[in-house]
Structure 1
Amino acid sequence: MEQTANHPSPESIMQIGTGFWASKILLSAVKFELFTVLVENKSMSAFDIKSKFGFQCTIRNVYDFLDALTAFGFLKREGLLASARYSNNLNTNFFLDKNKPTYIGGILEMLNNRLYGFWGNLEEGLLTGLPQNEIKIGENLFDALYADAVRLKEFILAMSGIQMGGFIAFAQKFDFSKYKTLVDIGGSAGLLSLMVAKHQSHINCITWDLPEVTPIANETIANFQLQNRVKTNAGNFFNDQFPKGDIITMGNILHDWDEETKLMLIKKAFDALPDGGALVVIENIIDDERMQNVFGLMMSLNMLIETGNGFDFTFAEFNKWTKAIGFKSTSLLALAGPASAAIAYK
């Protein structure tokens, strides 16, 4: 029962307070690749699952694990306890089967492998203003990632998973009719460029990132068979000028940095654009009243954990920065879920 004038309720407090229980149940299922196994086997009993994964807990614990996933809506169940058969629902079958190109579990894997532990130190992050990730043991986040091909690929696939919905929506909703070329800064695996090229046959794209990322992007481009209209280019946005393009995009790039660096990147985009060109920033743009986009607020706290000085921002802040650089006008395009495209026109 929710709170009324005469009947306060602890329900929402307890739901949020125990939220990490639910999170860890889902993340564990993803780590075990439970949803992939269920696709391969159609449906399984709790005993089958216990045996398949080598669980040494009691069968009662397995029932609790699977029935919690069912109650959350991630699994379907026929029967009860010993007679129950478990299978995926529509969403887990589509998004959490590792063998499908629609798999978004990369971000969930990273949440489990890295961020779950780091977020346990949020209090220290707030008290000190310092990152709470690999930096605490002397590693720079990006240096450590780019020095290890396996970790780099995991990180890139994670970022791809969390952004794919927004990229597809941008490719379908934005008016590309006046433009011919797009450059995606910090293009990672190339998915933004690929989604635009797939939906807009007249657009040629460059996905621009560090040299270590190029092989991953080229592999993704080959998988989509769009090598004729999506190319890779290597550079460092701290040291190099951006390639020229009618549209410059950045997907979850600006939020990594402090305000000074954000302004530097916006200025480089401005310099790379022709008159009438567009800078498109795809982020979890926080609403100006800072009350609705809770995911954007949580992502901003995640930037504290990851970088110490990065933060997510409102459309009003984006307007202030782009106006200071010299852009003529701006607009905001809602995409998928909490993601939006903040657009500035030169």
Structure 2
Amino acid sequence: METTSTTQVDPAKIMQVGTGFFATKTLLTAVNMGLFTLLGQGQHSGEDIKEKLGLHPRSLYDFLDALVALGFLNRTGIKKTSVYSNAADSDLFLDKNKPSYMGGILEMANNRLYPFWNNLEVGLKTGLPQNETKNNGKSPFDAIYADPARLREFIRAMTGVQMGNFIAFGKQFDFSNYKTLCDIGGSGGILSAQVVINNPHMECTTFDLPAVSPIAQENMDVMGLGEKVKVAAGDFFTDDFPKADVITMGNILHDWGTANKKMLIKKAYDALPKGGAFVVIENIIDAGRKKNAFGLLMSLNMLIETPEGYDFSISDFEELTKEVGFGQISIMPLTGPTSAALAIK
């Protein structure tokens, strides 16, 4: 008699993802309230936290202990005897008083993106952004660039998110055959800085809008790299790219539709010598579109945030770059879901 084994189907993944916003909002709220910054000063009792953050006693320990269970806090004691401290990653990356702080992107996620994602279904049915522009408001970038303080905060947040990838790129990429690099949309100049720190023979240019230049220059001067990294002002839509052996773009291409992607890639091609390298640092989606969930979700975020932007696979990158004349294509994993896609002229 033939027997068959049955596999128990488990709904745990469905529940974990379906209610994932519980954990997301708990973490974002803790960041927004400055909990990890408070605990960066030293451990505190639950009662201390309640008083300093102005919390109601009803759900105080549920909130704090959920963060313990999620791995963001450590705790000794329980409830009224509890004392809380930051986990190692929370302490390094979520304390505003540390230069490694990357909570700016989480603050933006809490204050802007979280409510916009409630309209994902509308975006999927209309193909239209669901952010401030939905009600004929200005793009959030207009407001950011008009306010120097907000611009500085935004650049610091974006830099924090990419710091690990820029360091990895500066260490892993083989610069032995190159002398110059230009980072298009270089923001605070940190990619260029990491390249010259790890490759002293390189000379780099960080290229971004005029409003960004003073911030980039300040960063380079503080790091003692003012003579190694040139800060250049311009608009990558209207200006030619500075000539260089390597052209990089970090989280630039995914903001734009196919036509603008091709235009920017063509400008990079024109700025490179034969044998030059075009490098795109993004959450490159795997060719089979099955593994890099974050890259695919980030592409949905581009639907929420932009008129035509989307993230792309390494196959898409190969098609776009070869169309303008690039030859050899490869990919270099960096940190987490992020990779450097490479095209050689």
TM-fit CA distance, 1:35: 1.1
Q: Secondary structure at the match of 2:312?
A: coil
The residue identity in structure 2 corresponding to 1:122 is: L
In the alignment, the residues of structure 1 paired with residue 35 and residue 224 of structure 2 have an alpha-carbon distance, to the nearest angstrom, of 30
Which residue matches 1:36?
Answer: 37
Name the SS for the 1:225 alignment partner: coil
Query: Does the 8 Å contact 1:107/1:157 carry over to 2?
Result: no
State the distance in 1 between where 2:297 and 2:308 align. Answer: 15
Counterpart for residue 8 of structure 1: 9
Q: Percent identity?
A: 59
For residues 92 and 140 of structure 1, what CA distance do their matches in structure 2 show? Answer: 31
Can you list the C-alpha shifts for 1:97-150, whole angstroms capped at 9, x where unaligned? 112111111111111121111111111111111111111132134333322333
Tell me if the contact between 1:110 and 1:155 (Cα under 8 Å) persists in the aligned partners.
no
Q: Deviations over 1:190-225 (max 9, x none)?
A: 111111111111111111000111122122222322
Shift of 1:5: 4.1
Instruction: Give the equivalent residue in structure 2 for 1:172.
Output: 171
Map 1:1-346 → 2, pairs under 5 A: 5-40=6-41, 42-55=42-55, 57-58=56-57, 60-138=58-136, 139-346=138-345
Deviation at 1:6, TM superposition (A): 4.3
State the AA in 1 paired with 2:245. Answer: D
Q: 1:120 to 1:223 in 2, by over 3 A?
A: farther
Give the secondary-structure state (helix, strand or coil) at the position aligned to 1:194: helix
Give the AA of the match of 1:311. Y
Q: Distance in 2 between matches of 1:22 and 1:209?
A: 36
Question: Aligned-residue CA RMSD in angstroms?
Answer: 1.3
Q: Where in structure 1 do 4 or more consecutive aligned residues deviate above 3 Å?
A: none
Structure 2: stretches of 5+ with no match in the other structure: none
Q: Secondary structure at the match of 1:233?
A: strand
Is the 1:160–1:191 Cα contact (8 Å) retained in structure 2? yes
Contact 1:141 1:306 in 2 (8 A): no
What is the CA–CA distance in structure 1 between the aligned matches of 2:148 and 2:120, rounded to whole Å? 28
Which deviates further from its counterpart, 297-306 or 106-115? Answer: 106-115
TM-score between both structures, scaled by the size of structure 1: 0.95
Q: For residues 276-315 of structure 1, what are the alpha-carbon distances to aligned partners after superposition, in whole Å with 9 as ceiling and x for unaligned?
A: 1100000100001101000000010000001031000011
Give distance in 1, aligned partners of 2:250 and 2:13.
33
Structure 1 stretch 263-272 or stretch 227-236: which is displaced more? Answer: 227-236
Match for 2:255: what amino acid?
D
CA distance in 2, matches of 1:203, 1:65: 49
Q: Distance in 2 between matches of 1:150 and 1:123?
A: 34
| Alpha-carbon distance in structure 2 between the residues aligned to 1:99 and 1:111 | 20
Contact 1:110 1:154 in 2 (8 A): no
Q: Is the 8 A contact 1:247 1:278 kept in 2?
A: yes
Q: Using structure 2 for the length normalisation, give the TM-score.
A: 0.95
